[in-house]
């Protein structure tokens, strides 16, 4: 949550002049995205329609050579009626430009707000939107490896070392051993296409129970479609993340899966794999939270999220044997 | 530049329901203001007109008992045709509400962007807007002390101690002695009314050379009107703030003063006092930057501004004997 780079009115007006969107009227740096700086831009409007846009500057984590994959995906999904912001192309047809050596993209603004406490009907709507996105992504034609799959997660956990792990909590299970077991048992042959892999409530814009936007596709990659559903089970179906308040909400889990299956019914192999996929997703979010947790200086204004919440989710998933355990 | 508090869609919708502005459509935390959290809010629109607002949550520095002064001032100035955002009152008529013990206010959204490198014609426009604001503020009827006047600045510099000061730079003049001399020579009897006292480019929204908004009045107080102009000379008429690139731009200084005087001609005593007022303003911004500089943890994402820029401005002001030295 930050704006890492200062862009003054002059810089912004110069940039906007390369697009057919009219003249700059307003620009507010917004506290969205952890890897990028973002501005909500208003213009006098242009041929492309619309007068509000999100300007994203790619600061960290994202390999600029991968931008065409991400921005092309937005355009592909938007063209296929998914609630995904399309990119605005400049007058030369390019989806991105450069300012001071950093890539920037102008992206459609979508209405909607991110919920903190999703209801079952909101979870159902997300399941539907996820499955529709999976259906549309099949014709995208580009692929990208998951840099945080279970093999990479295991590798990174091993690099962190036992010490970093045991420093968080005495009761933590041996996460390296857990990840090793998951990797060895991982079902690598499930149906695959492009997954979002980070579809948390803060990456979904909603109006009531309608999904108006799925955003922040910068972890999108080719992976098992059911893994994306497993991420959503972790993200949408647990109540509160406190250490002792672990609470899987079966109504929300069931609604999420039912919504998904109303568009794309799961294969029997996917249903069978759901618990291990959920465990793998919990390890992946435990890991990235651990890294954020360890790398945040003391006294920082933005408190990192506690990785233990995902150790707790993992403990729940390890008791689940079948998709029915999630309400399927 | 931060959003210190998380407000989810549910919190925001609950809040918005207390105002006659329609239903929540969008909410983006914005990176504006250092003492508050701010969100750009879009609604379906209501009887009050407009469908975009700034929601401000008062986090630090601001004494909540002073909110009626600040919010009343916005309403007074907006009603007197100053480009200042009015506050939206809730259904019970209140200009502020509370969420979790913190005061919040819903404030009109104004178009415009903040310039980094003002032109002389933009400086002139700011001079005009400042003088019109001074004219309108006379009928406000409330007063507030300047907590950062030269006496308070001296007191705070003394509390910081010689060590903190000499740690910044070996060549720094004795700021405590400088402030003491300024306090002893200060012209306390100049024409007074409500001053903004922090009208830097980032607190002014512009479209071209038109001022569309003056914002962030949370340092507003009763003080010498010419002091407010002195703050603006520091803020609008220097090129770049680098150590050795000190550069007062006489065209911009002259334009700022000429714009101001086209609405409210300065008294001879004010013209005479301008250099000492400019020195006092430079000490005040040196001081607050020093505090931010010293209190920012190493490795923080947002780099504080260098206090030395104001030591350099002070050095310039100490050579100026009359208002003509600023282009008046």
Per residue in A186-214, pLDDT (tens digit) is: 999 999 999 999 999 999 999 999 999 99
Segments of B44-132 assigned E as strands: 52-58, 87-88, 97-99, 102-108
Q: What pLDDT, on the 0 to 100 scale, is given for residue B301?
A: 54
Domains of chain A: 9-108 (3.30.200.20), 120-326 (3.90.1200.10)
Provide the chain B residues 173-212 that lie in CB contact (below 8 A) with chain A: 205-207
| Residue B102, Ramachandran bin (φ over 0: left; ψ between -120 and 50: alpha; else beta) | beta
Judged by CB atoms closer than 8 Å, whether chains meet at B9 and A301 is answered as no
**What does the alpha-carbon distance between residue B254 and residue B327 come to, in Å, rounded to a whole number?**
4
Nearest by CB to residue B112, choosing from A4, A26, A116, is: A26
Q: Which residue in A10, A113, A299 is closest to B24 by CB distance?
A: A113
Residue with tokens 């307003």: A26
pLDDT of residue B178 exceeding 70, the answer is yes
Is pLDDT of A19 > 90? yes
Q: What is the DSSP letter of A64?
A: G
B323, pLDDT greater than 50: yes
Residue B77 CA to residue B68 CA, distance in Å, equals 14
Confidence of residue B298 (pLDDT cuts 50, 70, 90): low
Q: What is the pLDDT of residue B8?
A: 87
Say how many CB pairs under 8 Å bridge A and B. Answer: 99
Residue A43: the pLDDT is: 96
Q: Is B270's pLDDT higher than 90?
A: yes
Instruction: Measure in Å the smallest separation between the Cα of B305 and chain A Cα atoms.
Output: 13
Nearest residue in chain A measured CA to CA from B112:
A26
Quick one: pLDDT band at residue A244, thresholds 50, 70, 90? very low
pLDDT given for residue A47 in this prediction: 75
B42 close to A (CB below 8 A): yes
B246–chain A Cβ distance below 8 A for any pair:
no
List the one residue out of B307, B283, B302, B280 whose CA is nearest residue B169. B307
Mean pLDDT of B52-65: 86
Which of A171, A141, A185, A162 lies closest to A244, judged by CA?
A: A171
CB contacts, 8 Å: B216 with chain A: none
Query: Closest to B111 (Cβ–Cβ): which among A25, A205, A301?
Result: A25
Q: Which structure tokens are listed for A4? A: 């890492």
* pLDDT tens figures, A254-312: 999 999 999 999 999 999 999 999 999 999 999 998 888 777 666 555 567 788 889 98
Mean pLDDT throughout B78-99?
A: 96
Mean residue pLDDT across chain A = 91
Q: Which residues of B touch A8 (CB under 8 A)?
A: 114-117
pLDDT in tens, B182-217: 999 999 999 999 999 999 999 999 999 999 999 999
Average pLDDT over residues B86-108: 94
Q: What is the pLDDT of residue B300?
A: 58
> With contacts defined as CB-CB under 8 Å, which chain B residues touch A26?
111-113, 205
| A121-151 burial code (b ≥16 CB/10 A, e <16) | ebbbbbbbbbbbbbebbeebeeebebebbbe
Q: Across chain A, which distance is largest between two alpha carbons, in Å?
A: 60
The answer to whether A116 faces chain B, any CB pair under 8 Å, is yes
ipTM value for the complex: 0.85
State the pTM of this model: 0.89
Whether the predicted pLDDT of A172 surpasses 90: no
Q: Average pLDDT in the B108-136 region?
A: 97
Distance of CA B208 to the CA centre of its chain: 21
Tell whether A228 is within 8 A of chain B (Cβ): no
B114 Cβ under 8 Å from any chain A Cβ: yes
Report chain B's mean pLDDT, rounded to a whole number.
91
Decide if pLDDT at B59 tops 90.
Answer: no
- Report pLDDT digits (tens) over A51-109: 999 999 998 667 889 999 999 999 999 999 999 999 999 999 999 999 988 999 999 99
Tell me whether A321 touches chain B (CB under 8 Å).
Answer: no
Range with the lowest mean pLDDT among A297-311, B7-21, B162-176?
Answer: A297-311
Residue B113 has its nearest CB partner, among A2, A9, A299, at A9
Of B12, B26, B116, the CB nearest to A9: B116
To the nearest whole Å, the CA of B299 is away from the closest chain A CA by 7
Cβ <8 Å between B42 and A111: yes
Check CB contact under 8 Å for B3 and A29.
no
Q: Tell me how far apart the alpha carbons of residues A57 and A55 are, in angstroms, rounded to a whole number.
A: 7
């Amino acid at each position: 949550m930050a704006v890492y780079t200062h862009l003054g009115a002059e810089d912004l007006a110069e940039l906007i002049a390369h697009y057919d969107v009219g003249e700059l009227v307003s620009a507010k740096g917004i506290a969205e995205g952890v890897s990028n700086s973002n501005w909500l831009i208003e213009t006098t409007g242009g041929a492309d329609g619309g007068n509000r846009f999100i300007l994203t500057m790619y600061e960290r984590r994202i390999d600029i050579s991968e931008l065409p994959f991400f921005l092309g995906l937005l355009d592909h999904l938007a063209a296929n009626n998914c609630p995904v912001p399309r990119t605005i192309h400049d007058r030369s047809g390019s989806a991105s430009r450069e300012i001071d050596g950093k890539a920037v993209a102008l992206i459609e603004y979508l209405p909607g707000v991110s919920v903190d406490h999703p209801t079952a009907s909101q979870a159902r709507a997300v399941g539907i939107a996820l499955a529709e996105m999976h259906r549309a992504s099949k014709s995208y034609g580009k692929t990208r490896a998951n840099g945080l799959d279970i093999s990479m997660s295991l590798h990174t956990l091993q690099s962190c070392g036992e010490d970093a792990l045991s420093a968080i909590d005495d009761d933590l299970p041996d996460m390296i051993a857990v990840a090793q077991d998951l990797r060895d048992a991982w079902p690598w042959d499930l149906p695959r296409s492009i997954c979002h892999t980070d579809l948390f409530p803060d990456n979904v814009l909603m109006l009531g129970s309608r999904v108006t936007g799925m955003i922040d596709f910068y972890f999108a990659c080719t992976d098992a479609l059911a893994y994306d559903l497993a991420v959503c089970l972790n993200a949408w179906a647990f109540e509160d993340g406190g250490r002792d308040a672990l609470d899987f909400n079966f109504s929300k889990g069931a609604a999420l899966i039912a919504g998904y299956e109303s568009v794309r019914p799961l294969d029997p192999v996917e249903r069978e794999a759901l618990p291990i996929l959920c465990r793998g997703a919990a390890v992946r979010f435990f890991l990235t939270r651990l890294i954020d947790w360890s790398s945040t200086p003391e006294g920082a204004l933005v408190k990192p999220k506690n990785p233990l919440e995902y150790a707790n989710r993992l403990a729940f998933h390890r008791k689940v044997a079948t998709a029915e355990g999630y309400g399927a």
